[in-house]
Structure formats: structure tokens, C-alpha cells
Amino acid sequence: MSELTIEKSRPNMMSFTLPMVGGLGLILGFLVGNVVGSPLIGTILGGVIGVVLGYVLNTIVKRRAVGRWGVVILFALVGLLFGGLGGAVGGAVVGAIIGWFAYWIGRGHYRDDVPIYATPGQTLWWNAFLFIAGAIFIFLITPILVVMPLSFNAEDFFTFTPEMLRLDPEGFSLKHYRDFFETDDWQLAMKNSLIIAPIATIISVSLGTLAAIGLSQSHVPFKRPIMAILISPMIVPLIISATGMFFFYSTLGNFLEGTLGMSKGFVGYIKVILAHAVLGIPFVIITVTATLVGFDRSLTRAAANMGADPVTTFFRVQMPLILPGVISGGLFAFITSFDEVVVVLFVGSAAQKTLPWQMFIGLREQISPTILAVATILVMISIALLTTLEILRRRSERLRGMSPG
């Protein structure tokens, strides 16, 4: 797009740019004012500063990089003056937001991804949709972003202390992580989770993969009702499933203890593992079924024509191609088992308490900040698993020719 076209596409400074940037300044000023205890003053100052920056950046400072970095540094210095190191970080974030927005509006970049024939209403909806999606993302991610720094609180509080807000090193500590690794109750819960989740995942993957392959065959009757029954554990409310499992596994436990003479503790692990496997099987079925949609059936017929038996065909031909879907389902099953608490409360006993159960106890019986450290560890594990899942998804697409290698 030529410079003349860019100039023509820019909005009118007084009627559009300044009110928009001033409106963002009002919002940011209100938020900052709430933090310092003066929302009204913060709102007024924010609006005025927004209008001034909108005018200065778009009429005087022509180079966008210089203007944006200048605003970030200016706001960081103001934040450092009034709020210490924490205020400097917050000021830099506010400056980065308002600096980017002023140029984005003033230079007409809000029309970059919109067709040139779009009406003002369509342009508004396009950008409103992007901002709504961003707001939803922030709404979902903010609790995680709040919990993680709080886990390093030097005090036994669930709130940010003044030292933490100033980024004072004295306000941060690893005491809650040490408490997690040195307390017997937490370590027992961790050990149980690391025993139950992997075994339940193996069972879920084995049974779920076989079920998905069987249901993918064209000659299988009543496929839809069978599929509905198999995935029902992820549809039925968990409390109902837990109640049903309680009665079923109680009978099973009495049989294993009374008739076969198994110990009560071992039977408890069996019940929890089987219950978690039931919850994980639907995820494996869905992911493997989705992978089998793009599977070339002629490969298995070719293997059979060359003398391969069904087991050899599965492991040498079919399994390598559907492996990303199998592993993805296994990751979902593992996360489901590792994070589940309701079924464990119904089916298990104190000897089988898992990390979520111990966290529930910590919230109900004693407000222990160690929960925040455990939550941060679980978030890191989930991020690692989801990253692996994304890598496997892309690999699956490449194997099926849906994306370039």
C-alpha cells in the first residue's frame, strides 16, 4: 500500500483518534487509580494523558519505535518514582499498551487485516471480535498468572504483600516449595498421584485405542449407541459418575478382600485406578477416532495381502500412523487422572489421597499457602504436556499430508 493510500486511510485526529486513545487512558487510569486508592483522580489523569499522548505520538513523533519506547520509559520512570521497582514494571506495561494503541488507531492499522471494501460497521465488528477474544484469554489466564507469583510469598498470606508489590527480594521466598517437598502428607499425595495416574493412563490408552479401532470398522453394528455409551463418563455430571462408582467398586472391593484375600490398601489403589481409567477412556477414543478419519485403509489390506497377520499389521502399519492420536489421548487421560478429586473422595481412602485431594484438605481444614506452590507445579506440568500435545498434533498433520513438512 502506498504512502498516499496510508494517509487517506488514517482516521480524523480530533473526531476519532483522540477520543479512542483518551477512552483507553480512562480505563487504564481507573485500574491504576484503584491500585493506589484514588480511582477518580486516576481516571481523570488517565483520560487527559491518553488524549495528550494520542496527539503527540501521531503529530510530533513520527517514528513509531521511538515513540513507543519513549512512552514505555517515561511511564516506567513515573512508576519507579511513586511505586518502586514494582511500580516501574506496572508503568512500563501501561506505557507499552497505550503507546501501541495510539499508533494503531492513529496510523489506521486497525484496517490492515480487513478487506478494503468493508464498511465501518464491519471494521468495528472485526476489531471488536479480536478484542473480545483477547479479553476472554486474559480472563482465563489471569488466575494462573496471579497464583504463580503468590507461591513465592515470604509470608503465609494469599495476597500480595507491600514488599512483593515493590519487588523487594525480602518479600519473596521458597518456603512454600520447601514445605511441599519436606512434608510427609504432601509427599504421600504426590507419590499416590504418580502411581495412580500413569497406570490409569496405560489402561485408558490400551482399552480406548482398541475401542476406537473397532468402532472405525464399517461392519460393526450399532456404532453410534456404543460410542455414546463409551464417552458417557465425560458427559454425565461427575458427581453422578462418582456415586455410581462408589456402589460398584464397593462391591468389587468386598469381593477382592473377602474372596481373594487382597489387602485393603492394595484394593483401594485398584479401585481408584480403575475409576480413573473409566474417566480417561473417552478422551482416548475421541482422539484416536479423529486420527483414524484420515487413515488409508488400503495399507492394512496391502499388509494382509503380503501375509501379515492382524497383530503384525497393527503394530507395523497402523500404530505408527495413529501414534500421535494415541499419545494425545494418553496425555488427556493422564491430566484427567492427575487433576481429579471428586471420584477419589468417593472411591478411595486416606491411604490413596492424591495431590488434588490434599489441596482440597488444605483449603477446607487449614489455609496453607503451600497449595499455591503445588498449583504452580501442576500448571508447569500441564504446560509441558500441552506443549507435547501441540507438537504431536502438528506431526500428525504432516504424516497425513495436511500441512507442509
Q: Can you tell me which residue has the cell 501441540?
A: 390
Give one DSSP letter per residue of 229-270, joined into a string.
HHTGGGTS-HHHHHHHHHHHHHHHHHHHHHTS---HHHHHHH
How do the pLDDT tens digits run along the chain, 405 residues long?
A: 444 444 444 556 667 888 899 999 999 998 888 877 788 888 999 999 999 999 999 888 888 899 999 999 999 999 888 877 878 888 999 999 999 999 998 888 888 888 888 888 888 888 889 889 988 988 888 888 888 888 888 888 777 888 887 778 888 889 889 988 888 888 999 999 999 999 999 999 999 999 998 888 878 788 888 888 888 888 888 889 899 999 988 888 888 888 888 888 888 899 999 999 999 999 999 988 888 877 777 777 788 788 788 788 888 888 888 888 888 889 889 988 988 889 998 988 888 889 888 888 877 776 778 888 888 888 888 888 888 878 877 776 676 555 554
Distance CA 156, CA 116 (A): 57
Which has the closest alpha carbon to 324: 392, 399, 404? 392
Which has the closest alpha carbon to 267: 244, 247, 250, 248? 250
Query: Do the Cβ atoms of 30 and 39 come closer than 8 Å?
Result: yes
Query: Do the Cβ atoms of 310 and 255 come closer than 8 Å?
Result: no
Distance CA 101, CA 52 (A): 13
Q: Which three cell numbers stand for residue 38?
A: 484514588
Distance CA 261, CA 392 (A): 44
Indicate the burial class of 48 (C-beta count within 10 angstroms; 0-12, 13-18, 19 or more).
middle
Query: Given this model, what pLDDT does residue 5 score?
Result: 45
pTM to 2 decimal places: 0.72
Inter-axis angle of helices 175-182 and 184-215, nearest 10: 80
- CATH numbers and ranges of domains, the chain: 3-112 (no CATH), 183-399 (1.10.3720.10)
Neighbouring CB atoms inside 10 A of 178's CB total 12
Where are the strands (E) in 170-325, listed by range? none
Q: Which three cell numbers stand for residue 179?
A: 514445605
Query: Given this model, what pLDDT does residue 1 score?
Result: 43
Distance CA 278, CA 196 (A): 13
Query: Given this model, what pLDDT does residue 276 score?
Result: 93
Query: Given this model, what pLDDT does residue 282 score?
Result: 93
